[in-house]
Structure formats: structure tokens, C-alpha cells
Chain A
Amino acid sequence: MATVSIRSVRKAFGSTEVLHGVDVEVQDGEFVILVGPSGCGKSTLLRMIAGLENITRGEIAIGGRVVNNVAPKERDIAMVFQNYALYPHMTVRDNMAFSLKLAKAPPAVISDKVGRAADILGLTPYLDRYPRQLSGGQRQRVAMGRAIVRDPQVFLFDEPLSNLDAKLRVQMRAEIKDLHQRLKTTTVYVTHDQIEAMTMADKIVVMHAGNVEQIGAPLELYDRPANLFVAGFIGSPAMNFFKGRVESGAFRFDGAQLPLPRAAPGVNGASVIYGVRPEHWQLSADGIDAVVHVLEPTGSETQVMARIADTPVVCAFRERITAQPGESIRIAPDPALVHLFDEKTGVRLN
């Protein structure tokens, strides 16, 4: 187990820079998730930690040792690839034993470790099969088994669940989390799925176009997104945004007005973006009018797509909604849970 420090790391492929100075501190035993839209450089960063890409600028340290010029095999890490990269010509047992054999571990130790990993992952009946004879979920487990037999300092995962169907993904999500709680190995996990990030991480690093947008605990990012990008990226359905101005103690747009959060000093007269999460709307007699377009009852809650003036909004209510499409409802945000962002820079104001 070890810490991972990423300090002002930059990466360029030829003349195009794809990471523009990334700083991340991963504590010992922490489960950190790198999340961001496709192409933002998550895999590249992970591969730099693994030693598969060299580091253009800055440094990466694992367990306090700078590893910029250390070969992958000497970094004491294990990586699970998106397509698992199981060796097709080896049985499950040999796949898991490969690294130990290379390290010249005694056969008794190898079979003991492989047996234990197979036990943890429920792979014991499949040890003598070839990867092509396994289901997607089982292959995924073999890939993890290959990582855990080595007992490395750091686990690296690159979108390990993206090839699985939705149900299996939820199950494997729980298994990986459970595994982490058992082994307490420092983990860096890449995904573009923010639900995966929210449910599994101790700490989330939100990346966008080669920059880190925000680092924090899942609920921290949910409660206080540092900027527009994070606000829009974290949370499902996504946050509603309104473009307008702050005037005489209220937010005005399109001739409507919404209450300001309490802690928003010095924004009077400014052009701002006002954000409300769908689940933070309430039905309220002194709210503003919203015309209902589509109702999506899921049982536990009802999602309503509506319009306030010309701006589309999504609301999620715990109550049952009786309004029909075309009718209007009166809704109001909870002022304590409203987010204000600078219109130009996108930075959080309250």
C-alpha cells in the first residue's frame, strides 16, 4: 500500500498537449476515481502512473519514490485493462500465476496465492478454463484476480466495467468496492460514468480537456461543485441552469424571478448562471409557473420535463404529480441548495 502523488504532470503526444498540468494526491489505501468525458485524458494519466506512457513534464511518485524513470514492472502496481487483456493461450490459473512465475515465486506459494484469489473472486471452478470459455463477468474477475495475486502497492483500473451489461455492472461495482474494503489497497480507477464514480469513490477527480476541474469526496462535489462543468457533470439527471442577472436580492431571467441563496455576497448586478438540481425543486403555491411537457413516473419519484418561460427544466418530485402535459405547476427551488456561477468564468460564487 502506498500513496500516489501526481505533481504538475503534463503530457504531449508530438506537439499536441493532452494533459495541461495535473495535480492529484492519493492517500494510502484510498479509492480515487478519475472521471470525465471521453478524450479528457483519464486513460493517459493512468497509463503514466503505470509507466506505459512517459511523462512529458512534472513528476509522479508512488510511495514517496519518484517513478518518472522507473520501468512498469518495478513500480509494484497492477492494472486492469478495459478489455481485460487476458492471455488467450493460458488457462485462468496460468493467467493469474503469470506474474508470480516471472517473479520466480516457489510453486507452493503460487498455487496458494492463486487459490486464495480465486476463492475471493469465486473463480475456483473455472481455474482450468481458457478465457474464451468464460462469460464477460468472469473474464472481468480473472483480470482482477491477476491483479490481486500480486499484492501490489497500487491497483489501476481503466474502465473495467464498460464492457458489461447494466445489471452485471452494478453487481461488479459492489464487488470491487467490497474487495477494496477487504484489501485496503490504494486504487486509482478510471471511468466516464459519474454514477460509478459517485457510488464507489472515496475521492473523485473530475477531469475535463486535460485539466483537473475539482477534487473532492462524492457528496462534496454534489453539494458544492466548484464550477459549471462539475455542476453539469455530476448528478443525474443533470442540474438545471438559468442564465440571468442578480437584481435587488433576486435572480431574474426571462421576466421570471427566483430566490437567491443566503450566502451570496457581492453579486448584485452581476450576470450569473443559476443552478438547481432536479431533486431540489419543490411544489409550492408561491413558486413560479412551469408548463409540464412530459411526465416520467418511476414509482419512487416522478420526473417532470417542463418549461419556465423559454428555459427547459427537469424536476424530480417524491410526491405523485397529477398535472397533465400542457398544464402548469408552481415550483420553487430550495434556496439553501441553489448554486450560483459566474457567467464568464463558470466559477462558483456562493
Chain B
Amino acid sequence: MSDTTATTIGATTEPEGPQLLSWDSRARRVVTIYVPLACFLVILLFPFYWMGITTFKPNSELLNYKDNNPFWISSPTLDNIRKLLFETDYPRWLTTTMAVAFASTALSLVSSVLAAYAIQRLRFRGSNYVGLAIYIAYLVPPSILFIPLAQVVFQLGLFDTPFALILTYPTFLIPFCTWLLIGYFKSIPYELEECALIDGASRLQILRRITLPLAVPGLISAGIFAFTLSWNEFIYALAFISSTEKKTVPVAILTELVQGDVYHWGSLMAGALLGSLPVAIFYSFFVEYYVSSLTGAVKE
């Protein structure tokens, strides 16, 4: 993604004057675009690099950086990954996290589509206030909300089950997705729906056959956001799950791979690396849509 940004910006500032200017403007371009971009990339990617090399480092190399270059691996090993996959519940954590993320994302998307459509298009009495209320709900920080939610989770007997997470994540996912989709629905011309109304469609048919197909980029970015947020969620997962084998990846690697004050750095990093791969892969499929939904509206 950063690559495309760089080339498009470069292309628009392509020097058009005589040769004389070209060195000057190339230098300027390097200073104004490539140098800041490079700094940005280095700062952004360094933690991933560190995570990557630590994953494949034997412990001896990791702990002794006087004799070894800390930025490089001399004898790479798969030991950490093997330990993670076969000596811990990591595969279970991963599947749990994935299942929870998918379920809560799906649940939130469905609710948000209906809520956003009603608020933006049906304009029922007080729809503005409902929209505002949903937004305010989003402003309550999870670090406060988990206390009353814990009560609810206990009462419903959901404690230490995946449902505790699937049903609580939407408390922050729905407001987020609803607001994103309200903005997206707003960009779809009203006439299309009026025309469909005259053509004989019911509200639900309009939603399904006109609005949603046109809102696909918006749905995808809402989906990605929701998926990422639930994948990385920490507080609820920490508070509502206690059994080791039911934990999600972010909580599990922290609670299970740090024993007392012993940090299993290799496995920890391996866990983090494997844990961020699904999100990265998921992202890469939809980058196009994602960018277009943030930058463009529906055009006829």
C-alpha cells in the first residue's frame, strides 16, 4: 500500500519543465517524499522485523548479544515454533480467536447494517437521537464497561465460554460499524432507492438488492475493522475467560508464555507473529476495497 502511495505521489509531481530543473526537483522529491516515507517505514516495520528474527533465534543467540549481532540470526531454528505449536495450546487459542472474531464480526455487521439503514434512510421519529445514543455508547471505555458487563456475563452463565466474548465484542463493534456505514449509505444517491420503491421493491428488497451491493466497499472496511478489533481485543478476553484452553491469542501468549518473571521470548514472538498473520492475510485480500471506501463514494 505504501508502495502505491509513493508512486502515485511521485507521478503527480513528475517534473515537466526543462532538464535544468529535473535534478533540483528530484532532490526535492527525495527529501519531501522518500526520506520521510523511509523513516516512517523503518519505524513502523522494525517491531515486525524484531518479532520475525526473534522467532527464529535459538535461545543462546538471543540472550548473548555480545558475541552475536542482535539484528541478525547466525543459526536459525524452528525450535520456538515447534514448542509453541506442540507444547502449548496455541492451535486451540488460534482457532478460538478466529471463531470469536468471525462470529462477533458477522453479528455486528448484520446489526450495524440494519441500524445504519434505519437511521440514515428510514428517518423514523427520533432517528437522530438513536444515532447519537449509539455513538455515545461507543465513547464509554471498555476498561470501565467490563465491570458491569462481567455482572451480565455471570448472570447469563456465559463466563468462561466463547459466547462471553462473541456477545460482548459487539458493544464496541456495533457503534463503530454503524457510524461507518451511516456515512457510506449517505453517499448512495437517494433517487436509486426511490426508483426501486416505484419499481415495486419493499424496504428489505431495496436494502438487499440496491443498497448493500453498492455499499460493498463500506461493508468490507467495516468488516476488516471489526475483525481486527476483535482479534486484538484484550480486556474482555482477559476478564471473561479463565481456562487456559479457552483463551484467545493476545491474552494467552501473555499469560501462558510468561511464567512468573520468565519470558519465553522465542515462543512469545512466534505466537505474536503467527497471531498477526491471519489478520494480515485477511487485510491483503481487501486492500483495494478498503482504500476506495475511505476515499471514494458511489458513482453512477
Q: Which residues of A contact B (CB under 8 A)?
A: 50-52, 71-73, 77-79, 81, 83-89, 98-99, 102-103, 131-132, 146, 150
User: Which A residue sits closest to B195, measured CB to CB?
Assistant: A85
A/B interface sample: 12 pairs, CB < 8 A: A50-B198, A52-B197, A71-B197, A72-B194, A72-B197, A73-B199, A73-B200, A73-B201, A78-B198, A79-B194, A84-B300, A150-B199
With contacts A131-B300, A132-B299 taken as known, whether A79 is within 8 angstroms of B195 at the C-beta atoms is: yes
With contacts A83-B191, A103-B200 taken as known, whether A89 is within 8 angstroms of B300 at the C-beta atoms is: no
Whether the pair B201, A102 counts as a contact (CB closer than 8 A) is yes
With contacts A50-B198, A98-B199 taken as known, whether A85 is within 8 angstroms of B191 at the C-beta atoms is: yes
Whether the pair A88, B195 counts as a contact (CB closer than 8 A) is no
Q: Which residues of B contact A (CB under 8 A)?
A: 189, 191-192, 194-201, 205, 209-210, 213-214, 298-300
With contacts A81-B191, A85-B191, A85-B194 taken as known, whether A99 is within 8 angstroms of B300 at the C-beta atoms is: no
Interfacial chain A residues near B298, Cβ < 8 Å: 88
Interfacial chain A residues near B196, Cβ < 8 Å: 87, 98
Whether the pair A99, B200 counts as a contact (CB closer than 8 A) is yes
Interfacial chain A residues near B201, Cβ < 8 Å: 73, 98, 102
Q: How far is the CA of A87 from the CA of B199 in the complex (A)?
A: 12
Distance from B187 Cβ to chain A, minimum over Cβ atoms (Å): 12
With contacts A102-B205, A131-B300, A132-B299 taken as known, whether A87 is within 8 angstroms of B197 at the C-beta atoms is: no
Interfacial chain B residues near A99, Cβ < 8 Å: 199-200
Q: How far is the CA of A99 from the CA of B198 in the complex (A)?
A: 9
Interfacial chain A residues near B200, Cβ < 8 Å: 73, 99, 102-103
Q: How far is the CA of A275 from the CA of B205 in the complex (A)?
A: 56
Q: How far is the CA of A86 from the CA of B299 in the complex (A)?
A: 11
Chain B CB within 10 A, most for which of A84, A86, A88: A88
- Other A-B pairs, 4, CB within 8 Å; known A84-B300, A88-B298: A51-B198, A73-B197, A98-B209, A150-B199
Interfacial chain B residues near A84, Cβ < 8 Å: 300
Q: How far is the CA of A146 from the CA of B189 in the complex (A)?
A: 18
Whether the pair B198, A73 counts as a contact (CB closer than 8 A) is yes
Question: Contacting A77 at CB < 8 Å: which of B191, B198, B300?
Answer: B198
Whether the pair A83, B199 counts as a contact (CB closer than 8 A) is no
Distance from B58 Cβ to chain A, minimum over Cβ atoms (Å): 55
Whether the pair A81, B195 counts as a contact (CB closer than 8 A) is yes
Q: How far is the CA of A103 from the CA of B201 in the complex (A)?
A: 9
Interfacial chain B residues near A89, Cβ < 8 Å: 213-214
Distance from B190 Cβ to chain A, minimum over Cβ atoms (Å): 9
Whether the pair A87, B210 counts as a contact (CB closer than 8 A) is yes
User: Which A residue sits closest to B191, measured CB to CB?
Assistant: A85
Whether the pair B189, A85 counts as a contact (CB closer than 8 A) is yes
Whether the pair A132, B205 counts as a contact (CB closer than 8 A) is no
Question: Contacting B192 at CB < 8 Å: which of A52, A85, A102, A132?
Answer: A85
Distance from B230 Cβ to chain A, minimum over Cβ atoms (Å): 29
Interfacial chain B residues near A79, Cβ < 8 Å: 194-195, 198
Distance from A151 Cβ to chain B, minimum over Cβ atoms (Å): 13
Distance from B160 Cβ to chain A, minimum over Cβ atoms (Å): 45
Distance from A251 Cβ to chain B, minimum over Cβ atoms (Å): 50
Q: How far is the CA of A150 from the CA of B209 in the complex (A)?
A: 19
Question: Contacting A88 at CB < 8 Å: which of B194, B197, B205, B300?
Answer: B300
User: Which B residue sits closest to A71, measured CB to CB?
Assistant: B197
Q: How far is the CA of A98 from the CA of B191 in the complex (A)?
A: 15
Q: How far is the CA of A52 from the CA of B189 in the complex (A)?
A: 15
Interfacial chain A residues near B213, Cβ < 8 Å: 89
Interfacial chain A residues near B197, Cβ < 8 Å: 52, 71-73
User: Which B residue sits closest to A82, measured CB to CB?
Assistant: B191
Q: How far is the CA of A102 from the CA of B201 in the complex (A)?
A: 6
Interfacial chain A residues near B299, Cβ < 8 Å: 88, 132
User: Which B residue sits closest to A52, measured CB to CB?
Assistant: B194
Interfacial chain A residues near B198, Cβ < 8 Å: 50-52, 72-73, 77-79
Q: How far is the CA of A150 from the CA of B199 in the complex (A)?
A: 9
Whether the pair B194, A86 counts as a contact (CB closer than 8 A) is no
Interfacial chain B residues near A132, Cβ < 8 Å: 299-300
Interfacial chain B residues near A72, Cβ < 8 Å: 194, 197-198
User: Which B residue sits closest to A80, measured CB to CB?
Assistant: B195
Q: How far is the CA of A78 from the CA of B200 in the complex (A)?
A: 10
Q: How far is the CA of A73 from the CA of B195 in the complex (A)?
A: 10
Interfacial chain B residues near A86, Cβ < 8 Å: 300
Chain A CB within 10 A, most for which of B198, B201, B209, B298: B198
User: Which B residue sits closest to A86, measured CB to CB?
Assistant: B300
The 7 closest A-B CB pairs, nearest first, are A99-B199, A85-B191, A73-B200, A85-B195, A102-B200, A89-B213, A72-B198
Q: How far is the CA of A78 from the CA of B198 in the complex (A)?
A: 7
Q: How far is the CA of A98 from the CA of B209 in the complex (A)?
A: 10
Q: How far is the CA of A51 from the CA of B192 in the complex (A)?
A: 15
Interfacial chain A residues near B205, Cβ < 8 Å: 102
Q: How far is the CA of A34 from the CA of B194 in the complex (A)?
A: 21
Q: How far is the CA of A312 from the CA of B210 in the complex (A)?
A: 55
Q: How far is the CA of A102 from the CA of B210 in the complex (A)?
A: 12
User: Which A residue sits closest to B212, measured CB to CB?
Assistant: A89
Interfacial chain B residues near A81, Cβ < 8 Å: 191, 194-195
Chain A CB within 10 A, most for which of B197, B199, B210: B199
User: Which A residue sits closest to B194, measured CB to CB?
Assistant: A52
Chain A CB within 10 A, most for which of B195, B210, B300: B195
Whether the pair A88, B214 counts as a contact (CB closer than 8 A) is yes
Distance from A128 Cβ to chain B, minimum over Cβ atoms (Å): 18
